[in-house]
Structure 1
Amino acid sequence: MPAIDSAIDPQSAEFAANAAAMQAHVDGFRRLEQAVVEAAEAKRARYTGRGLLLPRERLARLLDPGAPFLELSSLAGYKLYDDRDGTGAGGGCIAGIGYVAGVRCLVRVDNYAIKGGTISPVGMEKALRMQQMAMENKLPVVTLAQSGGANLLYANETFAPGGRGFANQARMSAAGIPQITVVHGSATAGGAYQPGLSDYVVMVRDQATMYLAGPPLLKAATGEIATEAELGGAELHTGVAGTGEYLAENDADGIRIAREILATLPWNRQLPAAAAVVYKEPLYPAEELIGVVPADAKRPYDVREILARIGDGSQFLDFKPHYDSQTVCGHIAIEGNACGVIGNNGPITAKGAVKAAQFIQLCEQANIALVFLHNTTGFMVGTDAERSGIIKHGSKMIQAVANAQVPKVSIIVGGSYGAGNYAMCGRGFDPRFIFAWPNSRTSVMGGAQAGKVLRIVSEAKMQVAGQVDEQALDELEHNTAAMMDAGNTAIACTARLWDDGLIDPRDTRRLLGFVLSVCREAQQRPLRANTFGVGRM
């Protein structure tokens, strides 16, 4: 394939300005992530005095040293519901994809050091998203559990979705996807069913408890008086009730047992022998991605400049390059993973939609994963666009995106507006993975456009009534624009789980290589399914 010839000068003042602006965005979201870590660290003395490892210490002991770990949705729930200072970001847990005893797994660690690890509605949504990832990508699930359960202030919003979480666990077991849970602390009521529905349960002596009703509720409901250990201590569940399979002496020992369980399973040996992956690094370093995108979002740039820094050997076979210049389609490889890429150099025209729809079908035919790089104001509008059949042809592209069965991965590198977000495989179209650069924005339209639309509509109503209030219209336009712009930032969108996390642009190639290999492995992996999942006898 031909290599892309970059037109960017990384020594120029323009590049330096772009890089500085992007670095400010990166530093901004990293500070928010670090604040959550520091909030947990501030409670170290309280928990280490009780012999507990902090959540991220548990995570570090679980994961293979030096192996890659992709943390997911680190800012989920940021300043939503009762998270007033932002330290509740993450939705009550630390989650991601990493290696445990050489096995690539979906890992969830309850962040009990922040608000007891209680789960808000966004935390529940994050948990369901993690389960979806595990099922789609055939990943074993390891949970280090110690949580206060659902936040009762929002129980009416989390109760029904919580049932879906339990259904997902049952279906994963039936599909042949193993689930291992280490119970480090209390698992009460509905929270007891999470380990109960796991395939392997490890309980920590003198720390872990599981019961449907704790001592206060039991006394109120039946008059019976019992201690926590008598109701559901680790010794009872591993030696009498049989709900737990393994009894650990402390946090570290429980994690050791979880690793040994995974090491015992012949998970990796069931894959077909894989040929060594050989590929060339890009001609242009991925580090330059920090300055490729203009600081001014209104300034256009060529998405091929991104491709030149993420594709193996910077090679790119441009599909129909002369048919439409604003929708870029073509073949690349990323760390040896063949994929088709669709990117934006402007609005999606009728011709661009037709081109993309055809290219998607070709990738489907060849079983090639799709990568979408979002930077579009949406579909082209206007008289000429309507006469060209923009609705009809745009619908073709949307149909192709929705129905393609190959893995789809989205990266929002700039704007992702209106139906353009749908056509480029936004969250609503179930991409296998979706991440965003920290400068990105996602919304039905830009704030300025929304403000002008409401002003025009309101002015028309005022004219009918015979009185136009220009000051009121000015305020309406300004307030609407401000509201929309505040809600479409990368931070606001990732807080609502519109993506799986924000990433440093310089990590884009490495991240895509990782998730594409996850998708490829899932396609190759056989599973031993059964009807009802593994039940405790």
Structure 2
Amino acid sequence: YGASRIFYYNSIMRHYLEVPQLSAVMGPCIAGGAYLPALSDVIVMVEGSSFMGLGGPNLVKGATGQEVESEELGGALTHNAISGVAHYRVEDDRACIARLRELVAELPPAERPEPSPEAAPPARDPSDAYDLFPENHRQPYRMEEVLDTILDEGSLEEFQADFAREMLTGVGSLMGHRVGVIANRRGMFKAADGGAPRFGGIVYADSAEKVAYFMDTCDRHRIPLLFVQDVSGFMVGTEAEHSGIIRAGARMVESMACARVPKIVLTLNHASGAGYYAMAGQGFDPDFIFTWPTGRMGVMEGESAVRAIYGPKLDAAAASGEELDEDTQEAIEHTREEYERQLDARYAAARGFVDAIIYPEETRDVLEFALRTALNNPAPHIGAFTLPDDA
């Protein structure tokens, strides 16, 4: 049997018996041994001393002729920022053991946990969100600062903080309730592997896989999910397609749809296209959907719609140097105005697409009430799945 029996038992315990598994990589973990931590829910690696790889530097040189240092090949930073295999990196062995103890302490008891008596106020006054959130919906901001107005102070532990940074995932507390946070960051993000920078608010293949794994872990650990939406969609183009974004996106959607824990949605800004679906959009029956007055829910933005409908005419006019005819200009302007009207949060609320429009200063209280309500409903939280009468 060899090591395969260990892999077999670990896999069965994790998926069928739902026994949480945590791994600390504090030294070399090579060849088949690298699969052992990879079969865990969470991997913690130590900077400078830990290594994971199917082959070490010497084997790589003998097999391929490539010369590479162990840290670049499979060190803590490599697996946290580039490959996404690991989930946390710490500075030394002592910090690694401390992190494992924290993770064990956060595991759910057999019965539904009550809110922690150590619930803390938020790091920022909720009304600070008016200053943190930009007036122009296209401008970037720091999602972490916005979350500081909602979550208990110091409670957010970011998951895979170095990997696919356009998406923020982590476990925090909301008035003592543990909650898994999935949020879209805005702005531009430097690629850890030296590749092209990434756009915030866009879901890439890596970020979809990151979120899917995080949701699966939260589901096994019975941690409710809070989706904080500011998403414009999935990345498109040759590079995106070659990265397998369709499969990764489908995995993200499937993990979200099948999660048995409560799912609560807060829309801050954009909520467009397939990205909106993947972030627990209305069609997936999350327990509650709330939006700030700044929420913009729709298939796409007005400018994107203009481009999709009138792209050939716009390109032809630009190439010839001629202006568009008056009817086309009026149609384009009407499209912009109509999309702007339908993107308004009040349009969505009036049609029942959201449960309520809430303000930043009441967000924390409303979310806690919704979370408490959802936790009192029996699992699984997968909505009303109804078969047709003739099925």
Q: For the superposition of Structure 1 and Structure 2, which TM-score range results when normalised by the shorter chain?
A: 0.5 to 0.7
Which residue of the partner structure matches residue 365 of structure 1? 220
Task: Find the partner of 2:164 among 324, 328, 334.
Answer: 324
Within 5 A, what are the aligned runs for 1:44-123? none
CA contact (8 A) 1:376 1:417 kept: yes
Task: Find the partner of 1:412 among 263, 267, 289.
Answer: 267
Indicate whether 1:386 and 2:235 are aligned: no
In the TM superposition, what is the alpha-carbon distance from 1:469 to its structure 2 partner?
A: 5.6
Query: Separation in 1 of the partners of 2:238 and 2:284?
Result: 28
CA contact (8 A) 2:114 2:177 kept: no
* Root-mean-square deviation over aligned CA pairs: 2.6
Higher relative contact order (CA closer than 8 Å, sequence separation 6+): 1
Which residue of the partner structure matches residue 517 of structure 1? 372
Task: Find the partner of 2:342 among 471, 478, 487.
Answer: 487
Indicate whether 1:314 and 2:314 are aligned: no
Aligned residues: 251
Query: Separation in 1 of the partners of 2:118 and 2:330?
Result: 59
Within 5 A, what are the aligned runs for 1:82-481? 277-345=117-185, 346-457=201-312, 470-481=325-336
CA contact (8 A) 1:412 1:437 kept: yes
1:313 maps to a residue whose letter is E
Pair 494,457 (structure 1): closer, same or farther in 2 beyond 3 Å:
farther
5+ residue gaps, structure 2: 1-110, 186-200, 380-391
SS of corresponding position for 1:421: helix
Query: Separation in 2 of the partners of 1:279 and 1:468?
Result: 61
Pair 472,523 (structure 1): closer, same or farther in 2 beyond 3 Å:
same
SS of corresponding position for 1:393: helix
In the TM superposition, what is the alpha-carbon distance from 1:385 to its structure 2 partner?
A: 1.3
CA contact (8 A) 2:115 2:175 kept: no
In the TM superposition, what is the alpha-carbon distance from 1:272 to its structure 2 partner?
A: 9.5
In the TM superposition, what is the alpha-carbon distance from 1:481 to its structure 2 partner?
A: 1.3
Query: Separation in 1 of the partners of 2:247 and 2:113?
Result: 45
Which residue of the partner structure matches residue 507 of structure 1? 362
Q: Deviations over 1:380-399 (max 9, x none)?
A: 12222112111111111111
Q: Give aligned-pair identity as a percent.
A: 31
Pair 358,276 (structure 1): closer, same or farther in 2 beyond 3 Å:
closer
Rg (Cα) greater in structure:
1
1:369 maps to a residue whose letter is P
SS of corresponding position for 1:314: coil
Query: Separation in 2 of the partners of 1:356 and 1:372?
Result: 11
SS of corresponding position for 1:310: coil
SS of corresponding position for 2:119: coil
SS of corresponding position for 1:323: coil
In the TM superposition, what is the alpha-carbon distance from 1:327 to its structure 2 partner?
A: 0.8
CA contact (8 A) 2:116 2:177 kept: no
SS of corresponding position for 2:266: strand
Pair 276,489 (structure 1): closer, same or farther in 2 beyond 3 Å:
closer
Pair 457,493 (structure 1): closer, same or farther in 2 beyond 3 Å:
farther
5+ residue gaps, structure 1: 1-270, 525-537
CA contact (8 A) 1:290 1:506 kept: no
TM-score under structure 2 length normalisation? 0.60
Pair 306,469 (structure 1): closer, same or farther in 2 beyond 3 Å:
closer
CA contact (8 A) 1:449 1:481 kept: no
SS of corresponding position for 1:312: coil
Pair 273,284 (structure 1): closer, same or farther in 2 beyond 3 Å:
closer
TM-score under structure 1 length normalisation? 0.44
Query: Separation in 1 of the partners of 2:230 and 2:121?
Result: 25
Query: Separation in 1 of the partners of 2:116 and 2:178?
Result: 15
CA contact (8 A) 1:312 1:333 kept: yes
Query: Separation in 2 of the partners of 1:373 and 1:386?
Result: 26
Pair 468,295 (structure 1): closer, same or farther in 2 beyond 3 Å:
closer
Which residue of the partner structure matches residue 386 of structure 2? none
CA contact (8 A) 1:284 1:314 kept: no
Q: Deviations over 1:192-233 (max 9, x none)?
A: xxxxxxxxxxxxxxxxxxxxxxxxxxxxxxxxxxxxxxxxxx
In the TM superposition, what is the alpha-carbon distance from 1:273 to its structure 2 partner?
A: 11
In the TM superposition, what is the alpha-carbon distance from 1:458 to its structure 2 partner?
A: 5.6
Pair 468,272 (structure 1): closer, same or farther in 2 beyond 3 Å:
closer
Q: Deviations over 1:508-535 (max 9, x none)?
A: 11111111111222349xxxxxxxxxxx
Pair 515,475 (structure 1): closer, same or farther in 2 beyond 3 Å:
same
Greater share of residues in helix: 1
In the TM superposition, what is the alpha-carbon distance from 1:371 to its structure 2 partner?
A: 0.2
CA contact (8 A) 1:459 1:468 kept: no
Consecutive aligned runs of 4 or more in structure 1 exceeding 3 Å deviation: 271-278, 457-462, 467-470
In the TM superposition, what is the alpha-carbon distance from 1:276 to its structure 2 partner?
A: 7.0
Pair 519,277 (structure 1): closer, same or farther in 2 beyond 3 Å:
farther
Pair 309,469 (structure 1): closer, same or farther in 2 beyond 3 Å:
closer
In the TM superposition, what is the alpha-carbon distance from 1:475 to its structure 2 partner?
A: 2.1
SS of corresponding position for 1:343: strand
In the TM superposition, what is the alpha-carbon distance from 1:435 to its structure 2 partner?
A: 0.5
SS of corresponding position for 1:442: strand
In the TM superposition, what is the alpha-carbon distance from 1:337 to its structure 2 partner?
A: 0.7
